[in-house]
Structure 1
Amino acid sequence: MTAFCANTIWRGMTPDDLETVTTLAGVIHTDYPEDAAIFAERLRLAPEGCLVLEHEGTLGGYLISHPWRGLVCPPLNTLLHTLPQPADRWYLHDIALAPAMRGGGHARAAIDHARRLARDNRLRWLTLTSTGPARAFWLAQGFVEEQPSAEEQAVLASYDPQARLLSCPIPPDSGL
C-alpha cells in the first residue's frame, strides 16, 4: 500500500489491531456503533480488504471492505457469517480516519486500494452505504446515488434517515 511519508503507511490489518480499530470506530462513529465482532468477522472473511493506517506506531485509521452481491447492503452492526458467492461488487464497509489524519490523501489511497481489489476480482462496481454527514465526501470521490428498493430503504434506515446507497463503476483497465 502507498506510504505518504516514511512514518505513515496503510498496511494489512491483523487480529492484534482489532481492539484499537474498535476503539477508534467508537470515537469516530459515535452515531453508528458496531460491536467488536463485526470488525473481527470482516477481517476473517476478507483480510485483503482490511487495512490500518499506521502513523509513528499509532493507528490513525482503518479500511474495512469485502466482496458483495447486489445493492442490499448489510445492516449496521450485523454479522454476515459468509460472503455471497458469486460477488458482483466490492463493498466499502467503512473508511475511518482520526481527525489528525484527515486531509492528507489517506482516504483516497484506501479507496484506490478497494478499486484495485474490485478490479483484481473482476468486479465492476465499488458500492457503499453513505451516512448523511459523509455523502458530500463520497460524491466528490466519483460515487453516484443508487435508487433503492423498499428492501434497501429498510436497511438504510438502520444507519440514519439520510443514508444512501452509492456506487462507482470500476473500469476494467483504468491503470490504477
Structure 2
Amino acid sequence: MDHRGIHWRALSTLDLPMVEAIAAIVHPDFPEDTAVLAERQRLYPDGARFLELGGIPSGYLISHPWTFKSLPALNSRLGAIPPDASTYYLHDLALLNKARGTGAAAMIVGDIINHARAGGFPNLSLVAVNGSQPFWHKHGFRVVNASELAEKLASYEATARFMVKPLV
C-alpha cells in the first residue's frame, strides 16, 4: 500500500535489525529478542509488515492466527501457529513518532482486518499497552474482561487490557 509516501510492505528477515531498533524506541518496557520476532515473521509472513515513510523505515506490524484468550507470553517463541486458531492476534503495531498522525496506522489496521476476515476468523484480539486503548477503540476493538488473563496482562503492565474486535 502506498499513499502520500506511506508504504507498507512485507517484512523480510533483512528488516529485523530495524524492527528491533524501532521496538527499542517505541516499546522500551517490552523488549523482545530478535529471534522471537524472526520466528513470528517466519511462522506467518502474511502478518508481518514493515512501514516506510518517504523511503525511511518508520514502523512495523507483527500479527498471526492464535487461540482466543490464550495470550502469548512476552519475549517467547510460539513454536507453531495452532492448527485450530480461533482468533487473529495483533502482537505488535509500532510506529515511530514521525509516522504518527499520517494515517499509516489506520491503513495497516484496515488491511489486517480485511486479511483476518478473508481468513475466516471470527475476531481479532490484542493486548493494548502504552495508552493505546483509545486508538484501538476507534477501530472497533472493545475491552473484554477475562479474569483468566489477569496474571498474563499484569506481566505486560498494570494498565494492559485485552481487546477484541468481532468480525462476524
TM-score (norm 2): 0.95
Q: CA deviation at 1:57?
A: 2.7
CA contact (8 A) 1:67 1:91 kept: yes
Aligned to 1:174: none
Asked whether 1:144 is paired with 2:138, we answer no
Percent identity, aligned pairs only? 37
Aligned to 1:56: 54
Aligned to 1:68: 66
Among 144, 151, 154, which residue is 1:154 paired with?
Answer: 151
| Structure 1 unpaired stretches of 5+ | 172-176
What are the Cα deviations for residues 53-109 of structure 1, in whole angstroms up to 9, with x where unaligned? 112332101010000112121121111111112111100001111100110111111
Asked whether 1:170 is paired with 2:160, we answer no
- Number of residues of Structure 1 aligned to a counterpart in Structure 2: 168
Runs of 4+ residues deviating >3 angstroms:
none
Give the whole-Å Cα distance in 2 for the aligned partners of 1:8 and 1:142.
23
CA contact (8 A) 1:62 1:97 kept: yes
Aligned to 2:77: 79
| Structure 2 unpaired stretches of 5+ | none
Aligned to 2:95: 97
Give the whole-Å Cα distance in 1 for the aligned partners of 2:53 and 2:134.
26
CA RMSD of aligned residues (A): 1.2
TM-score (norm 1): 0.91
CA contact (8 A) 2:68 2:125 kept: no
Give the whole-Å Cα distance in 2 for the aligned partners of 1:121 and 1:39.
22
